[in-house]
Amino acid sequence: MASQGVSCRIYALRAVGGQEYNVAFMLKTRIEARGLDKVRVSSIVVLPTLKGFVFVEGSMPYEIQDLATGIKHYRGMVRGVINPDDVVSTLSKPVEINVGDVVEVIAEPFRGYRARVVGIDRQKGQVQLQLLDSSSNMPILVSIKGVRKIESK
């Protein structure tokens, strides 16, 4: 949060699913083009677990909407203000994945594939996966943050 005298609030922008990072990048580019000293936006957050939304922290909702208007995958602004505790709690939730769980890979290059967890290295933050949607049985290593649990063993 901003520690200035200006009160900042979090607003949600709707985006096409899977295009949240592109919308966030275009917002950042437009903010830099207008000048960081003129735009009252403190942060832009994309939650990998929540598809279709980009969260923007700022003091002027009309300014945020003006910045986002015309971005290709932007679909509108959600009315109201988002509670900051909801966003922070989503960011800090630990991922509880065990051997045998079925997960969906949300990181490139295997994005969208379903896989079974065959090994976990918690120190390195990696999981060893066997792809279910592939004819190959070769295991792959992915960051533990790059998978989303679908079902437990």
Q: Using one digit for the tens of pLDDT, what is the confidence trace for 104-152?
A: 888 777 777 888 889 988 888 888 998 887 777 888 888 888 788 887 7
Alpha carbon separation from 87 to 51, 55, 79, 82, 141 (Å, rounded)? 14, 9, 16, 8, 29
The pLDDT of residue 56 is 92
Which residues, at least 6 apart from 81, have a Cβ–Cβ distance to it below 8 Å? 9, 10, 11
E-strand ranges in the chain read 9-15, 41-45, 53-58, 74-77, 102-105, 114-121, 126-131, 140-143, 147-151
**Residue 4 reports pLDDT greater than 60:** no
Give CA–CA dist 66/64, Å, rounded. 5
**Residue 2 reports pLDDT greater than 60:** no
Q: Using one digit for the tens of pLDDT, what is the confidence trace for 62-113?
A: 888 998 999 999 999 988 888 777 777 666 656 688 888 888 888 777 777 8
Is-contact 55 47, C-beta < 8 A? yes
Closest CA to 78 of 46, 102, 55, 94: 55
Give CA–CA dist 115/150, Å, rounded. 10
Strand partners, 15: 74
| Between 144 and 4, the higher pLDDT residue | 144
- Topology of the domain covering 9-91: Alpha-Beta Plaits (3.30.70)
**Residue 1 reports pLDDT greater than 80:** no
Domain ranges (residues) in the chain: 9-91, 102-151
Q: What would the CATH number be for the domain defined by 102-151? A: 2.30.30.30
Is pTM beyond 0.75 here? no
For 76-90, the three-class secondary structure string (H helix, E strand, C coil) is EECCCCECHHHHHHH
Q: Using one digit for the tens of pLDDT, what is the confidence trace for 18-36?
A: 899 999 999 999 988 988 7
The pLDDT of residue 103 is 86
In CATH terms, are 9-91 and 102-151 the same topology?
Answer: no
Half-sphere exposure of 30 (CA within 13 A, CB side): 18
Q: Give the gyration radius of the chain's Cα atoms.
A: 19
